[in-house]
A = this chain, B = another copy of it.
Amino acid sequence: MPRTQEQFNQMKDEARQKIMSAALCLFSHKGLSATSIVDIAKKAGVSSGLLYHYFRSKEELFSELVGFAVASSGGFIEEIAGLGLGSAEKIRRISAKMIETLKEDDTTAQYFVLMVKLTLEGDLNEKTTENAKEAAKPVIILSGIIAQGQSAGEVKSGNPYEMAILYWAAVQGLCSYKLVMGENFMLPSAELLSGILIN
């Protein structure tokens, strides 16, 4: 997640950035097919023709955004998983980071929501399949952390895979709610989120 900003900033081309930012917002809200090229162009403040200088097609723009989403969400989990910490601490860090990034702006929520839309709406081409596989990683990684934590008596008991699914489902649901509820949304504390897995 923290990479995202850098990655965006690295793009020298301002118009490209504006387009991606507008597209992310619209895709995450309305989905791939409910979002029109004209909508994106209008929101980005450019002409619809220009969009095709930067992206071969609407699908490709979508795909590229999903790629970013998958990479940035997966990345931070792998990073924390790789640290030499206790399982409970890892879960607390993941939760803290998650809540913190969600607090900052809508980008992370949009990325997470996009990842679900990928599977439901996207074409079934190579890139998509690859992305889908990548998107499943966090569940696997978290399963491992949970199993380890249970051995150490730090984590609630239960099927680790089921627990990982519940945890990410909650995160995914929070992202979705954040976009849907607008002003009425309130982010729970990191402790509450960790509480799904840790007593």
The A interface is mostly helix, strand or loop, or mixed, namely helix
List residues of chain B with CB within 8 A of the CB of A184: 136
Interface members, chain A 79-121 (any B CB < 8 Å) = 116-117, 119-121
List residues of chain B with CB within 8 A of the CB of A116: 176, 180
Chain A 143-187, CB within 8 Å of chain B: the 1/0 string?
000000000000010110111011011111110110111001111
Is the CB of A20 closer than 8 A to any CB of chain B? Answer: no
**Roughly how many angstroms separate A136 CA and B166 CA in the complex, as a whole number?**
22
List residues of chain B with CB within 8 A of the CB of A189: 158-159, 162
A66 to chain B, nearest CB (A): 13
Tell me how many chains of this kind the complex includes. Answer: 4
In the complex, which residue of chain B has the Cβ closest to the Cβ of A180?
B119
Q: How many residues of A contact B (CB 8 A)?
A: 44
List residues of chain B with CB within 8 A of the CB of A136: 181, 184
**Roughly how many angstroms separate A184 CA and B30 CA in the complex, as a whole number?**
26
List residues of chain B with CB within 8 A of the CB of A156: 192, 195
A110 to chain B, nearest CB (A): 12
List residues of chain B with CB within 8 A of the CB of A171: 173
Contact A121 B30 (CB under 8 A): yes
**Roughly how many angstroms separate A173 CA and B139 CA in the complex, as a whole number?**
13
A164 to chain B, nearest CB (A): 9
Interface members, chain A 33-52 (any B CB < 8 Å) = 33-34
**Roughly how many angstroms separate A177 CA and B162 CA in the complex, as a whole number?**
12
Contact A165 B179 (CB under 8 A): no
**Roughly how many angstroms separate A162 CA and B178 CA in the complex, as a whole number?**
12
In the complex, which residue of chain B has the Cβ closest to the Cβ of A33?
B34
